[in-house]
Amino acid sequence: MAITVEPSLFTRIIAREIPADIVFENERIIAFRDIAPKAPVHLLVVPKTAEFANVTELAAAAPALLAELVAIVQQLADDHCGGQYRLVFNTGPLAGQTVFHVHAHLLGGPLPEGTLGQ
């Protein structure tokens, strides 16, 4: 019996099966607004490949893609929140990861110290 793996929410957004408010896209990365924002600016920055579940896997196997993702985060922060931001990668369910397709949360706007913008 073959095991089927359902595509992640982000894979379905990339394929345009699910709508999203996309703010950036190139051949390798897509960025869109979080539907449940935790800060005045809350963007998800996602590699288009579903190969990596978390940032540790991405860093080990594709450091150039991780570097590109971080550069795009800075560009988006410059455009959306004056260049100042928090960058959060949740790794594992106990850390709050719910979609196991690596992604970064770009949080910007007034974020009090000691919070994650919640």
Q: What is the pLDDT along the chain (118 residues), one digit of tens a residue?
A: 555 568 899 999 999 999 999 999 999 999 999 999 999 999 999 999 999 999 999 999 999 999 999 999 999 999 999 999 999 999 999 999 999 999 999 999 988 776 654 4
**Nearest to 24, CA basis, from 73, 83, 86:** 73
Give the pLDDT confidence score for residue 27 in this predicted structure: 98
Q: Out of 42, 80, 101, 103, which one is annotated catalytic?
A: 103
Over the stretch 61-87, which tens digit does the pLDDT of each residue have?
A: 999 999 999 999 999 999 999 999 999
- List CB contacts of 71: < 8 A, sequence separation 6 or more: none
Q: Is 101 a residue of the active site?
A: no
Which CATH architecture is the domain 9-108 placed in? Answer: 2-Layer Sandwich (3.30)
- List CB contacts of 16: < 8 A, sequence separation 6 or more: none
Q: Which residues pair with 22 in a beta bridge?
A: 32
**What predicted TM-score, i.e. pTM, was given to this entire model?**
0.91
Helix ranges restricted to H, the chain: 9-14, 55-61, 63-81
CB 86 within 8 A of CB 108: yes
Q: Where are the domains of the chain?
A: 9-108
Give the pLDDT confidence score for residue 111 in this predicted structure: 81
**What's the rounded Cα separation, in Å, for the pair 54 and 36?**
20
